[in-house]
Structure 1
Amino acid sequence: MATNIGMMDSAYFVGRNELLTWINDRLQLNLSRVEEVASGAVQCQMLDMTFPGVVPMHKVNFDAKTEYDMIQNYKVLQDVFNKLKITKPLEINRLVKGRPLDNLEFLQWLKRFCDSINGGIMNENYNPVERRSKGGKERSVKGTNKMPKSLQTNNNHAPPNSSLVGLSKASGPKPAKAADVKALSKELTDLKLSLELLEKERDFYFSKLRDVEILCQTPDLEDVPIVGAVKKILYANDANESALEDAQEFLNQSLGVQAGDEGSGGQEEEDEEEERAQA
C-alpha cells in the first residue's frame, strides 16, 4: 500500500486533465477545475469506492461551500486515514483555500494511492450517484445524470404523435462526404497533437513552479524577504492581474531599512566629494 510517495515519484507528474478525467469517469461527475475538489467530498468518495464500507458517506457534504463545512468533510477523511493507517498528512488549512497547486498535489497522491489498490481496477458494482444520494447531503453535485422534473413532466404528457419522438428519414441529416470526413479527421489529429504538446509544456513549467514552491517552504528561507515576494506571486488568487507589483511593494517594505542605510551612505560619499572639490 503506497501511503508515502516521494516528490520525485511519477505520480506527481500526472496532469490536471488526466486527474479530472479519472475523477469524472469513476464518480460520474463533470468537474472542470482542480479547485472544485477543495471541499474534500470527492476525496472521501474516492476512498469509499476503493474501500467499500469504510467511509461514512452520510457524514460527507457534497454541497459544502464554507470552510467550516469543508473542514467537517476533511475530519471524515482523517478518520478514514486513521482506520486505514494512512500516514499521509492532511494539510486541511491549505486545501480548503482552493489553491490549485495544493489540491493538484493531493489529487496526484490520491490517484497513485488508489491505483496501488487492486491494480487500480475500478469497482464495477459501485454506484457513485446512489452512494452520494444515500449519504443524504447531495443537493447540487455537478454532472449527475438526473433528468430535471420539468423535463420528466413534459415527456410524460407529450402527445403520441409528437415530433419529438424522432426524426424521419426524410428530415434526417445527410450522409457526410468521404472528403469531408477525411478533412475533419486530419483536423482532429492535428488538434490532438497540439493538445499533447501544450500539456507537456504546461507540465514542464508546472514542475518548475512546484520546485520553487518547495524551496520557498524551506524553514531557513521562509523569513527571507525575497522568498516572501516569490510567495506573493505563487499564491496570487486573481488570474487577470499580475502579482508582480504587490510582490515588489512587499519586497521594498521588507528591505526599507536597508534601502535607507544605502541612501545615507551615498549622501556621505557626495558630501566627501564636494569637500575635496572645495579644497
Structure 2
Amino acid sequence: MSSNIGRNEIIAWINAKLHLNLTKIEQAASGVVQCQLIDMTFPGVVPMHKVHVDAKTEYDMIQNYKVLQDVFNKLKIDKHIEVNRLIKGRPLDNLEFLQWLKRYCDSANDGIVNENYNPVERRSKFSKAKSIKSSQKNLKSLQTKNSRNPESDAPRKISVGTKQRKTGVVAVESVASDEIRVSSNEIKETKLSMNLLKKERDYYYSKLRDIEILFQSPQVQNIPMVVAVKKILYAVDDESGLAEAQEILSAKR
C-alpha cells in the first residue's frame, strides 16, 4: 500500500471506523483516535480506562500517548511516537503518523476487524466513568471542606425590629461586604497558587522533554541506561516502568 495516503482518505477512514465526524487531521492530535484504532484492532490490549477520552490539555494528551506507547511496547511494535510534535496539532506530523497507523491496522490480523466492536459505546463508557469519578472527587472535597467548617452553613440570626430596621440593614450589608472581601482574597490566592503550579509543571516538563530529545540521539539511544530511563518515561504506571528498567540493567550485568 502506498505511503502517500491523502488526508481526505485518512479522515474518511477514521470517521468510518470510529463513527466520528472529523474534518481536519489535527482534530486527532489528542491521541484518543490512535488509542481507539489499536483498541479496535487488538480488543482488550488497550487499557481504555486510562485514556482521557475528552482530553483538552497537553497533560491529558501526553498521558494518552504514554498509554499508546506502552501498548506498542507490549505488542512489540517498533514505532517511537513523537509526542511533542503530535500534541501541537501540526497537520503534517499527525498525517504522517496516521498514515503509518492505517497501514499497520490494515495489515494486522489480515485487516479483519471485530464486527461487534462499538466505537461510540466504547468511548462513551469511559468518558462517563471519568465524569462520575471527577464528580465524586469534587463532592468528597466539598464534604471535607464543610466538615472542617461546620459553622459555615449555620444560619445567621439578624434581629431587625421595626425601630431597628435601618441598623439591621447596615449590619447585613457589612457582613456581606466582609464575606465578599474574604472570597475575593481566597480567589486571588487560588489563582496565585495555580500560576505557581503551572510554572513548576512547565519547568519540569521542559526538563523531561530535553532529556527525551537527548536520548533520541543515535549515539546514546541504545545504551542500556538510556533504554531503562526511557522505559520509565513512557510507562503508563510507575511500577511497571521501574520493573522493566531494573530488568534491563540486571540483564546488562
TM-score, with length taken from structure 1: 0.45
Question: Which has more radius of gyration?
Answer: 1
Greater fraction helix: 2
